[in-house]
Amino acid sequence: MRLKPYNLKIKTGGPLVAILHEDTAHQFDLHVGDRVKLNCDRTEIICSLDVTKNGFPKGRIGLFTEAYNALNIDKGDRVEVSPAEKPESLLFIRKKLDGKALDEREINEIIKNIVHGELSPVEMTYFVSGCYANGLNDAETTALTRAIVNNGKKLTFKKGTVVADKHCIGGVPGNRVTPIVIPIVVAAGILMPKTSSRAITSPAGTADAIETVCNVTVNAQRLRKIADTVGGFMVWGGGVDLAAADDKLIKIRHPMSLDPEGMLLASIMAKKHSVGSNIVIIDIPVGKTVKIPDAKSAQHLKKRFITIGKMLGMKVQVIITDGSQPIGAGIGPFLEMIDVMDVLQNTPGAPEDLRAKSVMEAGILLEMAGKAAKGKGRAMAEQLLVSGAAWKKFQQIVRAQGKKRPPKMARYQEPIVSIHDGVVLEIHNKLIAHMARIAGAPTDPASGLVIVKKVGDKVKKGEPLFIVHSNSKDRIAYTLEFASKQNGYTIGKNKVAVVKAKTPKVKPKAEQKKKSSKK
Amino acid sequence: MRLKPYNLKIKTGGPLVAILHEDTAHQFDLHVGDRVKLNCDRTEIICSLDVTKNGFPKGRIGLFTEAYNALNIDKGDRVEVSPAEKPESLLFIRKKLDGKALDEREINEIIKNIVHGELSPVEMTYFVSGCYANGLNDAETTALTRAIVNNGKKLTFKKGTVVADKHCIGGVPGNRVTPIVIPIVVAAGILMPKTSSRAITSPAGTADAIETVCNVTVNAQRLRKIADTVGGFMVWGGGVDLAAADDKLIKIRHPMSLDPEGMLLASIMAKKHSVGSNIVIIDIPVGKTVKIPDAKSAQHLKKRFITIGKMLGMKVQVIITDGSQPIGAGIGPFLEMIDVMDVLQNTPGAPEDLRAKSVMEAGILLEMAGKAAKGKGRAMAEQLLVSGAAWKKFQQIVRAQGKKRPPKMARYQEPIVSIHDGVVLEIHNKLIAHMARIAGAPTDPASGLVIVKKVGDKVKKGEPLFIVHSNSKDRIAYTLEFASKQNGYTIGKNKVAVVKAKTPKVKPKAEQKKKSSKK
């Protein structure tokens, strides 16, 4: 049948979807989820079909933006609609839902279809569900990683080049070690082409923080050049299209916050694999209020990361770290970047916990790359930091990506004070993150919190625990209201021996920041 | 934020969905799948949010038809948009995906949200997946049945009234016993308010067949009246809105042809429960080319039907029948109805297998209802049929629902002949159904096939196996082309002893029909 096209002017965000009025579909024995072949001039596409009851003209073919654009429709064109076979990958998705393992070809077929928009959101959801309910074994996870990489853009370097990378499982507010580790490692002459994500549910992603001082959306061609000349970069992964399939799957997982373990692993490893990384450090923070709540889960993940790394030809080292409280002082894109630059410039009072963790991670990468002897990496990283070499490299990278004028400090700053005398026993990471978001992070990059008191610190009634930063009076009020009910701090008599992080105690810089913002 | 509404004029088919441009969503920290509260004048609704990149204006709120209508928007109105909590049922869906059993309240909450359009297709898919991958136990299946019934319309009758119902798991072409069983049972004074489905992937649903002689879309109020005056009806379930949630779940299951067992059971039982049925016969045909391939699966289903029936307060009797070949002669809405009326009118040559199966099922219901003594139901049913009482009741029901002029016989009729001498060893139900669909069933009600030879029949080279009926020359050609490759018949030397159905052999009436159509 030849039908007049109807441009719906709505993006599906990927899938090619066409829509028919119920009566028109019935007439041609077509149903929701069927595939139709659309021809217009010499262009042919396959769409999945949606069927609607009314509010849409009979006898026309509605096209979501992706499908409309793919067909190159000129004015007056008609579209030839005919039934098409469903993609073979639906059989494989069904197989996974049935609890059977998929092979490399089957997984690749699913991912290929996803990247080309050939699976509907409902069909992709069945794939995510199958992976969640029945799990992915190591071979499947490796195959999924390869499929994501092979069906997206890649960065490749000369054979034999050592390429370093890092990843943190996340959930610890303020844990902004990436922009410190990169310049240290690159200053030692190791290639580190790093892509990071933006915040989804946290107050700041690494890309959001770095974006307060330089551009993070850089195309693949320019990335190549920066890698060749400067030795590394720190950009937003979403701007490079390195793992397109992964972004589409994340969109499906988000509404239920569903992270099938195999998909989570593949998602992380694909980002490393697509830039050719071969030495990788993975940080798994453990704590009651972060993603990984106990040592057993962490050990399990550690084992899987190492196995899958090996199958992909990567050396992977996994560190299990203290995730019991925020790291650094600032929580929010720019407040975190201030901590980062203080560490890189050896500013007195820079957060010691952030500094120590960054130096440790950089040290491990230096040893893995063979730049430092075993046990000597940390000292070498320390030296690159103290000498100013890391700071110099940081500035080079920032300039290469495109330096930006940083935002002003937030207009409003209000302390949240303790109503008890005592010792800080616990800080709830999720509540801290939530308050930083209410204050405006990451949308307003200068907003967030500055932590004053950490676990083990003594606090007197009336003393500030943290400072809320925001450019909106309303948001300040909302945050204060929230904090008046639960501010995330447990303050007690210190009767339990508080096990502190191995890293030294933080010297809060909130006061200093508060002053600087009043200039 | 107050935004100008944008009517997308597309139905989602249920869920209330709003859409924002990516930049607008980012500004308010909203994401795909988040819930937003929309206020317009004094109307408030909760929508799930979709986010799009372009092809949609920034700073406006797009509304799919259901949401647009629910808000009662007048010209010039603005819509107040604010974040809302996600429905609690998402936690329960997640729980099911995690392999845990749900309780009655949790299942009811999910179904309530589905009926009110509060879950997106992706979220409903997660529910279907969880039920498929982890199964539903008897208590969950019963709870799901109750939830579907309680969140839809119901028909209730005076306490203590015996209400009969029947169901067939399906997959056997031509198995149109319902319009024969109903008038027999109702003629005996038993209430039988029957709702049936239309074809989805078969050449005819019961509702499609009955629709060739009378109206099948009847509102609940009139149904009540027909039940009270005539004692029963035979209508399309989709027109009554008795199990609204079920229809929405079927839409999600269709693209993957996914039938989680518990959902299938609940779907069937909900239709019975919603019309107050308390005696139910379930027919499970077993055969290589129908839905249930072996006796073991049939026995398992039988046990579950009986258990769940008991939990719902229904007497359920399950018969496991021969599903090895089509029943009756006609395959297609009107061709099947001709068989039905021939049986009801005791026309010589009416298909014996169809007659015998109908009489058996009606007999069982008569015994269950206490109208006939044990072992005497069949004879009583036989008597109601032979006496013409059933045919009289059929005509009463048809008149009450609104009699229609039946379609003309199809313009084109072409025999498919055997190319061998031998005995019919097997008939492939799915291929027969497929050819009937190619011929035009159920869209064109007069089209389909008329079976001439059945399993065990001797056939000579050149003799017709079945006749293709269609009003389209093209469709006749397509069907012949398909049949030239595979016509569904296995013809051999009868060296294996063919186990025939227990019911007597069919006297094909194809010739007679062919004649009648030439009038």
DSSP structure string for A297-334: HHHHHHHHHHHHHHHTT-EEEEEEEE-SS--SSEESHH
Contact present, A276 and A242 (Cβ < 8 Å):
no
d(CA A31, CA A33): 6
Distance CA B112, CA A211 (A): 44
**A10:B52 CB<8 A:** yes
Quote the CA–CA distance of A126 and A120 in Å, as a whole number. 10
Which pLDDT band holds residue A239 (cuts at 50, 70, 90)? Answer: confident
- Whole-number pLDDT of residue A325: 96
- The domain defined by B412-517 folds into Aldehyde Oxidoreductase; domain 3 (3.90.1170)
pLDDT tens, residue by residue, B448-492:
999 999 999 999 999 999 999 999 998 999 899 999 989 999 998
| CB within 8 Å: A443 and B55 | no
Q: Is B82 left (phi over 0), alpha (psi -120 to 50) or beta?
A: beta
Whether the per-residue pLDDT at A513 is higher than 90: the answer is no
Torsion, Cα A252 A255 A258 A263, to 10 degrees, reads: 20
Tokens 């139709």: give the residue.
Answer: A36
Residues of chain B contacting A50 with CB distance shorter than 8 Å: 13
B436 to chain A, closest Cα gap in Å: 13
**B133: chain A residues, CB-CB within 8 Å:** 97, 99, 129-130, 133-134
pLDDT bucket at A120, cuts 50 / 70 / 90: confident
With CA atoms as reference, report the closest residue to B321 among B360, B347, B349. Answer: B360
CATH 3.90.1170.30 residue ranges in chain B?
412-517
Cis peptide leading into residue A406 (ω within 30°):
no
**Partner-chain contact B13 A97, CB within 8 Å:** no
**pLDDT score, position B171:** 87
Q: Is the peptide bond before B442 cis (omega within 30 degrees of 0)?
A: yes
A191-to-A161, A229, A283, B161 alpha-carbon distances in Å:
8, 10, 20, 81
B209-266 pLDDT, tens digit each: 999 999 999 988 899 999 999 999 999 988 887 878 888 888 888 778 788 999 999 9
Interface test with B, best of A125, A134, A438 (most B CBs within 10 A): A125
Answer yes or no: do A125 and B120 touch at CB < 8 A. Answer: no
Rounded Cα distance between A266 and A271, Å, is 8
Q: What is the pLDDT of residues A318-344, one digit of tens each?
A: 999 999 999 999 999 999 999 999 999
* Percentage of residues of chain B with pLDDT beyond 90: 70
Point out the residue among B19, B27, B133 whose CB comes nearest to the CB of A129.
Answer: B133
**Spelled out in words, what is the top-level CATH class assigned to the domain B164-241+249-401?**
alpha beta
**Looking at residues A425-449, what average pLDDT do you find?**
94
Q: How far apart are CA B408 and CA B517, in angstroms?
A: 7
Among B33, B56, B122, select the one facing A9 at the smallest CB separation.
Answer: B56
B-contacting residues in A 368-407 (Cβ below 8 Å): none
- The helix or strand, by DSSP H or E, that contains position B195, with its residue range, turns out to be strand B192-196
CATH value of A2-84 in 2.40.40.20, 3.40.50.10360, 3.20.20.70, 3.30.70.120 = 2.40.40.20
Residue A519 has pLDDT above 50, yes or no: no
**At B338, is the pLDDT very low, low, confident or very high (cuts 50, 70, 90)?**
very high
Q: Decide which of A53 and A68 is more confident.
A: A68
Q: Which residue has the higher pLDDT, B361 or A475?
A: B361
Q: Which residues of A are catalytic?
A: 259
- Cβ pairs A/B, distance under 8 A: 129
**What is the rounded distance in angstroms from the CA atom of residue B17 to the CA atom of residue B6?**
12
- Considering Cα of A169, then A174, then A175, then A178, what sign does the dihedral take? positive
Check if the beta carbon of residue B315 is closer than 8 Å to that of residue B163.
no
Percentage, residues of chain A above pLDDT 90: 70
At CA A306, angle to CA A302 and CA A308, rounded to 5?
A: 115
Give the model's confidence band at B55: pLDDT under 50 very low, under 70 low, under 90 confident, else very high. low
Average pLDDT of the segment spanning A108-125: 92
Where does CATH 3.40.1030.10 sit in chain A?
A: 164-239+254-401
- Scored b (16 or more CB within 10 A) or e, A416-432 reads bbbeeebbbbbbbbebb
What is the pLDDT of chain B when averaged over all its residues?
90
Quote the minimal CA–CA distance from B241 to chain A in Å.
15
Query: DSSP assignment of A196-251, as one string?
Result: EPPPSSSS--HHHHHTTTB-----HHHHHHHHHHHSEEEEEGGGTTTTHHHHHHHH
Residues of B designated catalytic: 259
For the complex shown, is ipTM > 0.85? Answer: no
Q: Where are the alpha helices (DSSP H) in B31-118?
A: 65-70, 89-97, 104-115
Identify the closest residue of chain B to A259 by CA–CA distance: B94
The whole-number average pLDDT for the span B396-419 is 97
Query: Does the beta carbon of A123 lie under 8 angstroms from any beta carbon of chain B?
Result: yes
Please tell me which residue of chain A has the smallest CA distance to B28. A443
Fold of A164-239+254-401: Pyrimidine Nucleoside Phosphorylase; Chain A, domain 2 (3.40.1030)
More confident site: B345 or B24: B345
Instruction: Residue B120: list chain A partners with CB under 8 A.
Output: 255
Taking residues B354-376, report their average pLDDT: 98
Which residue spans of chain A are classified as CATH 2.40.40.20?
A: 2-84
| pLDDT tier, A494 (very low <50, low <70, confident <90, very high otherwise) | low
pLDDT above 70 covers a percentage of chain B that reads 95
Q: Is A406 a residue whose pLDDT tops 90? A: yes
Cα of B65 to nearest chain A Cα, Å: 7
- Is the CB of residue A258 less than 8 Å away from at least one CB of chain B? yes
Helix axes B261-273, B138-150, angle to 10 degrees: 40
Q: Determine the pLDDT at residue A170.
A: 80
